[in-house]
Structures are given as structure tokens and as C-alpha cells.
Structure 1
Amino acid sequence: MSEAMMKLVKQHQECDDQLNRVEVALNKQDFASAGRNFRLFNEQLEDHFRIEEERLFPAFESATGMRDGPTVVMRAEHLEIRSLRDQLMQEIEAADANAARASIDTMNVLIQQHNVKEENILYPMCGGSIPHLNRILGFGGCGGVCSCAA
């Protein structure tokens, strides 16, 4: 897997870790901490989705001509994750630990299924199809295939 794709996988792991912090806080009934950690999770999630939706997916579609393929599925799943995220935020703000824990369980399953598809299907397709992924994704440089500054 390319360096750029490994950075996206790392972002998946960082989001997972942050969502786990939310769950730990909820289990302690610490809604202030759950809210803070959830806002951090949301920032990480949106940064990751933005890279994919604004850079990776268009580059993949342009390179492959596949505009009705995996990126359509991934965008739809992003919408589903965002909807559940909004519900979860409301539950945290309402201090409804039981509902929030149930939503986190659902979110974890949804995100894990989504990430498996990206990491095992889409990312390898991107790595083989799109030149200069680091630069395209805003990670700096071109991944070592030219002399540009990283």
C-alpha cells in the first residue's frame, strides 16, 4: 500500500481511538468529557472525509473513469455515518448514556465495515491508478517519484 494510503489508514485508526475515548467517558457517566472527545472525533472524521470526498474520490474517478463505482458507495456511507454522528451528538448533549452507547456500538460497526471496504478495495485501486497521491491528498510531495519538496 502506498504511503498516502497508509496515512489514510492511520486516520481511520485515530478516529477509532477517539471514538473509544467517547465510549469510555460515557461508561463513566462523564458527559463533559464525552462531549469534548466527541467534538475531537467529529473534527478528525470530517477532516478525513474532506480529503476523500474533495481529493481522493475525484482523482480516482478522473484516473479510472469510474464515476458509478466504489466512490458512490463510499459517499453514501459517509452520509450514513454523518447522520448517526448527529444522532449521537444529540444523545450526548441530552446526557442519555444508554442511547449514546447503543449509537456508538452501531457507529463502530458501521465505521469498521466502511473502513474494511476502503482499505481492502478502494485504497489499493487508488494506489495503482493515481500518480502523485501524497500531493493530491495534501500530504506533501509526490511520494518520492519526483524531485519536488515533500
Structure 2
Amino acid sequence: MNTISYSMTCDHKACDDQFVAAETAARHGDWQLCRKLSGQFEQALSQHFLAEEDILFPRFETLTGMTQGPTAVMRAEHAAMRDIVFSLRHAAASESLDDFLGHADTLLVYMQQHNLKEENMLYPMMDRALHAETGALLDLVQQQLAVQSA
């Protein structure tokens, strides 16, 4: 059986790859491609966050009673990253390389730190707490993530 750790870590990697592609397009001055790829990255990241916030976090909180613990921290970090992505999108729209790369650098640091916390702490906690429900939860998560390709 797949684990939450494995599935969500793979999705982190997919989001990271889209982010790198958008940043590469910006560095090459291909703003049309950058805007397209940035939009795809934003959609993928949004779906990832929603899968956590709407499916995994609530179930984990219900089973563990931890509502002000790691999931609260992750939600706050999601909000901060959404704000940076908004600024990134604005920089791509205005074709400002310095602004785009500045926001990209900030976002990269946030994502790296955030992903490490999820992958090394929260997801393993979820694997243990939600073990009996993993298959059903991952089916719901995959449905949520599939929205991005629709």
C-alpha cells in the first residue's frame, strides 16, 4: 500500500519541478512560457494545499485531537506561500526578472523548509495515525490532485 508520506512527497517533487521550469523560462526571458508554467505551478501547489487542508489535516486532527499543532503551522505556511505566489505571478505579468527571481528565491526557501517539516515530521505522524484509512484517504487526495489536470 502507498503511504501518505510517499504520495505527498512525490507531489512535492512534481510541484518543485514545475516551479523550476517556470523559473528557467523567466531566466531565459520567455515571459509567455513563464506565465504559462507559473500558472500550472500555482494550480498544482493550490491543489496540493487543498488536498492537505481539506482531506488529510482534518482527518488527522480528528483522530489525534491535535488542532493547534503541526497542521496549524502548515496552514499558516501555506497562506504565506500563497501570498508569495501571488507576487510571483504579478512579477511574471509585468515581466520583471529581478522581482520574479526575488520572489522565486523567497518561495524556494519557504518550500524547502516547509517540505522538510512535512516529509520528516507530519507525514510520518499521519502514516501512523491514519494507517487504517490510508487507501481511502489517498484515493480522495488523488481525486483532489487530479483537478489540476482537468
TM-score, scaled to structure 1: 0.89
1:9-62 Cα deviation digits (max 9, x unpaired): 001000100000011101111100000000110111011111100011001101
Larger radius of gyration: 1
Partner residue of 1:75? 75
Q: 1:95 to 1:14 in 2, by over 3 A?
A: same
Pairwise CA RMSD of aligned residues? Answer: 1.4
Partner residue of 2:135? 134
Q: How far apart in 2 are the matches of 1:139 and 1:41?
A: 18
Partner residue of 1:53? 53
Contact 1:4 1:139 (8 Å CA) reproduced: no
Q: How far apart in 2 are the matches of 1:134 and 1:75?
A: 24
Contact 1:5 1:127 (8 Å CA) reproduced: yes
Q: 1:120 to 1:88 in 2, by over 3 A?
A: same
Counterpart residue identity of residue 18, structure 2: Q
The equivalences for 1:20-59 within 5 A come to 20-59=20-59
Q: 1:33 to 1:85 in 2, by over 3 A?
A: same
**Runs of at least 5 residues in structure 1 that lack an aligned partner in the other structure:** 141-150
Counterpart residue identity of residue 76, structure 2: A
Contact 2:3 2:127 (8 Å CA) reproduced: no
Cα offset, 1:139, TM superposition = 4.9
Contact 2:12 2:115 (8 Å CA) reproduced: yes
Contact 1:27 1:97 (8 Å CA) reproduced: yes
Contact 1:22 1:35 (8 Å CA) reproduced: yes
Q: How far apart in 2 are the matches of 1:129 and 1:27?
A: 43
SS at match of 2:73: helix
Cα offset, 1:132, TM superposition = 1.3
Q: How far apart in 2 are the matches of 1:63 and 1:123?
A: 14
Counterpart residue identity of residue 39, structure 1: G
1:55-92 Cα deviation digits (max 9, x unpaired): 11001101101011000000000000000000110000
Q: Which structure shows the higher helix fraction?
A: 2
Partner residue of 2:123? 123
**Runs of at least 5 residues in structure 2 that lack an aligned partner in the other structure:** 143-150
